[in-house]
Amino acid sequence: MTTENVYKNISLKKVAEKAGVSIATVSRVINNSPNVNPETRIKIEKIIKDLKYTPNRVAKRLRNRSSSGSLLGVLIPDIQNPFYVEVLRGIEDVAYKNKYALIMCNFAQDENKEKLYLDILQSESIDGLIAAPTHEHDQKVTNLVKAGLPIVCVDRGLVDVDVDVVLVENRKGAFTAVDYLAKKGYKRIAYISGIPKLPSSRDRELGFRDALEANKLSVFTELIKYGDSRHDSGVRLCAELLELPNPPDAIFAGNNLITLGALETIHKKGLKIPGEVAIIGFDDMYWSISLNPPLTAVRQPAYEIGKCAAEQLISRINNPGRPTSSMILKTELMIRNSC
Amino acid sequence: MTTENVYKNISLKKVAEKAGVSIATVSRVINNSPNVNPETRIKIEKIIKDLKYTPNRVAKRLRNRSSSGSLLGVLIPDIQNPFYVEVLRGIEDVAYKNKYALIMCNFAQDENKEKLYLDILQSESIDGLIAAPTHEHDQKVTNLVKAGLPIVCVDRGLVDVDVDVVLVENRKGAFTAVDYLAKKGYKRIAYISGIPKLPSSRDRELGFRDALEANKLSVFTELIKYGDSRHDSGVRLCAELLELPNPPDAIFAGNNLITLGALETIHKKGLKIPGEVAIIGFDDMYWSISLNPPLTAVRQPAYEIGKCAAEQLISRINNPGRPTSSMILKTELMIRNSC
DNA sequence: TTGAAAGCGCTAACAT
DNA sequence: ATGTTAGCGCTTTCAA
């Protein structure tokens, strides 16, 4: 330790000294308490400005876990997934407007990491949490909800407890996609699923099956592959599909990373899309139009999901008693040229 | 306020009571102080486990801004840019390993937002900061460095102060790309720049000019366009370029968002790549191979940038006196089919 | 309208 | 080896 870290903020005390009042009065000014003499207020406000005083958020949080405008936790499964990045953007915009800072935890689909982060979040005394839990029975998150921490779940709900949630119509969205495929005349339609224990993966599979049935198409079990929601598994499972003696003529990819992986495999094999194999994705990206070929995909309103979730959360923080709500957002089929 | 938030952690005091010792002893156990009776230690450790006690990070931070394993700030310009997402991943991995949590601030290229976030970060008593400042003279960040907050800059340095920095060889990387274009026989090569006040944009322009000169090609000023580093500006500036009476035969795009925007425009105009116009990008993406056509691009080791930055930062936190260092990472040309 | 003081959970200096 | 205590910066009762 050669250098002394002199980095230090102005405190209430400094302001109080300068103003010749007690710290309590300064605190009142800061918190807009009505019980303060207008003249005193003006004097103190000037000093605050001069000294560039900003309240110490750490002390505030230590004192009052209910104080507003402080810290929100975000627990997401995979920051490499552009879908969650968009969700994050939505959250961030709302948080910023409400002067909340975000503590970001990317647990990369790893349950141990999730647990550690949840501990950290808890011990940081966050005011609220937006989480996409590993699965519906996530104990840690469930306990946190029970303990009274304001929480909103995105993308995945919780089953053992009543919690605010914002989701999309996964089943219907998947149905729309696969129905579109069927109507186009594809007969052997495959599904590459994300992590099967996620409700979203299961709902999309349900939609997939609904659509096959509605179009009187057979479900070929060898054409349903279960992966882990990541790029690699898209690469691998798509290869397995294409190497089948009787490969699919169309693929419904369970999320955007899987789609990208599948695309990579198809290109490596030199197959024409949609001529030799068609593909449709769940999750749109703003650059889907620049893919080869421009990708037809089910768009989830990711930014809105984040925005709604953050709004819900802040509303719950301010009103812990209000009943929980589920928001189910609609998806949209973006038709381009990959099928 | 209908419901009471009963959410509350176990404190040192609780553990101490249960163990029949003072809080100081418990604190010593937690911090692995040598001065504690082995038997006492074991007893206390058991109780800690039973009670699932985790130290309150907020109190810790309030007490000691030098205590390790707490909070790191990350200030990035654009979370929509996959480059920064990769950087973030690198940071996050290192932070996680060292038990730091991350407070994430995306200022979206907005200087006011940057300022507000810097205030928040400061008042959160972060232990250190990784930042990509708006420009080289960024006052706020400069002052923070001067005040002694451990800081590492990524992607963009600071000029008025001595600070740790991790960058890539922008000039050389750009040279390699444009030289490749020239060697392929392209004559009218355009450059779509990101925000011109960023050193990285300027260095890439320098590399662009170097390569033209080295290949005895003219610099056409109408073929150099300055934008704002985002998707939109790629769309727009590429259109301007292609609508020129004498359009370019190849485009060097200043970053990945610009590349994606340019690609969008080229596709909308129905132009063949590379037949009618070639394109080469700065920044690779893991799905570049699935673009139309597979994109040739300069790869920045984004994950490593984040990793190095976080390691540098933690090293500086632990040893504030050590001299500053600059790490300059190499780029790599990923040759595919867009030129 | 204002001030004094307790206390949030923790660390570290000092005392025993 | 262990305990006592001050204090980090703040909010909030209670008293004046």
pLDDT in tens, B116-150: 999 999 999 999 999 999 999 999 999 999 988 99
Q: B170-300 adopts what CATH topology?
A: Rossmann fold (3.40.50)
The span from the CA of A153 to the CA of A165, in Å, is 5
Closest CA to B51 of B29, B19, B23: B19
Residues of chain A contacting residue B80, judged by C-beta atoms under 8 Å apart = 85-86, 89
Residue A3, pLDDT above cutoff 50: no
B297 to A75, A118, B180: CA distances (angstroms): 33, 39, 11
The span from the CA of B14 to the CA of A293, in Å, is 62
If contacts are CB pairs under 8 Å, which of residues 12-41 in chain A contact chain B?
none
Question: Shortest CA–C1' contact from B11: which nucleotide?
Answer: C9
Q: How confident is the model at residue A326 (pLDDT cuts 50, 70, 90)?
A: very high
Per-residue pLDDT at A4:
43
If contacts are CB pairs under 8 Å, which of residues 318-337 in chain B contact chain A?
319-322
Percent of chain A beyond pLDDT 90? 88
Q: How confident is the model at residue A18 (pLDDT cuts 50, 70, 90)?
A: very high
Q: What is the mean pLDDT of chain A?
A: 93
Q: Is the CB of A326 under 7 A from strand D?
A: no
Chains A–B, number of C-beta pairs less than 8 Å apart:
178
Per-residue pLDDT at B68:
66
Residue B2, pLDDT above cutoff 60: no
Per-residue pLDDT at A70:
87
Residue A302, pLDDT above cutoff 60: yes
The domain limits of chain A are 1-56, 62-168+304-330, 170-300
Provide the token pair at B88.
């973030």
Q: How confident is the model at residue B1 (pLDDT cuts 50, 70, 90)?
A: very low
For residue A130, list its beta bridge partners: A74, A152
Summarised one tens digit per residue, pLDDT across range B288-313 is 998 988 999 999 999 999 999 999 99
Is there a contact between A62 and B57 if contact means CB atoms under 8 Å apart? no
Summarised one tens digit per residue, pLDDT across range B151-188 is 999 999 999 999 999 999 999 999 999 999 999 999 99
This prediction has a pTM of: 0.93
Chain A contact present for B68, CB below 8 A: no
D1 C1' to B207 CA distance, Å: 66
Q: Is the CB of A9 under 7 A from strand D?
A: yes
What sign has the CA pseudo-torsion A242, A247, A250, A253?
Answer: negative
CATH 1.10.260.40 fits B1-56, yes or no: yes
Q: Is the CB of B275 under 7 A from strand D?
A: no
Residue A101, pLDDT above cutoff 80: yes
Which CATH number is associated with domain B62-168+304-330?
Answer: 3.40.50.2300
Summarised one tens digit per residue, pLDDT across range A265-289 is 999 999 999 999 999 999 999 999 9
Which one of A124, A139, A142, A267 would you mutate to disrupt binding with B, by most B Cβ within 10 Å of its Cβ? A124
Residue B320, pLDDT above cutoff 90: no
Which one of B11, B49, B51, B58 would you mutate to disrupt binding with A, by most A Cβ within 10 Å of its Cβ? B58
Q: Tell me if B62-168+304-330 shares its fold with B170-300.
A: yes
Helix (H) or strand (E) holding B147: helix B139-147
Summarised one tens digit per residue, pLDDT across range B267-279 is 999 999 999 999 9
Residue of chain B whose Cα is closest to the Cα of A114: B96
Give the sheet arrangement for strand A332-334, strand by strand. Answer: A224-226, A189-193, A250-253, A278-282, A297-299, A332-334
Is there a contact between A105 and B106 if contact means CB atoms under 8 Å apart? no
With vertex at residue A262, the alpha carbon angle to CA A261 and CA A267, rounded to the nearest 5 degrees, is 100
Per-residue pLDDT at A247:
98
Per-residue pLDDT at B66:
60
- Evaluate whether B246 touches B207 at the Cβ level (below 8 Å): no
Q: Is the CB of A58 under 7 A from strand C?
A: no
Q: How confident is the model at residue A9 (pLDDT cuts 50, 70, 90)?
A: confident
Q: Is the CB of A28 under 7 A from strand C?
A: yes
D12 C1' to A24 CA distance, Å: 9
Q: How confident is the model at residue B65 (pLDDT cuts 50, 70, 90)?
A: low
Residue of chain B whose Cα is closest to the Cα of A95: B105
Provide the token pair at B76.
């990035």
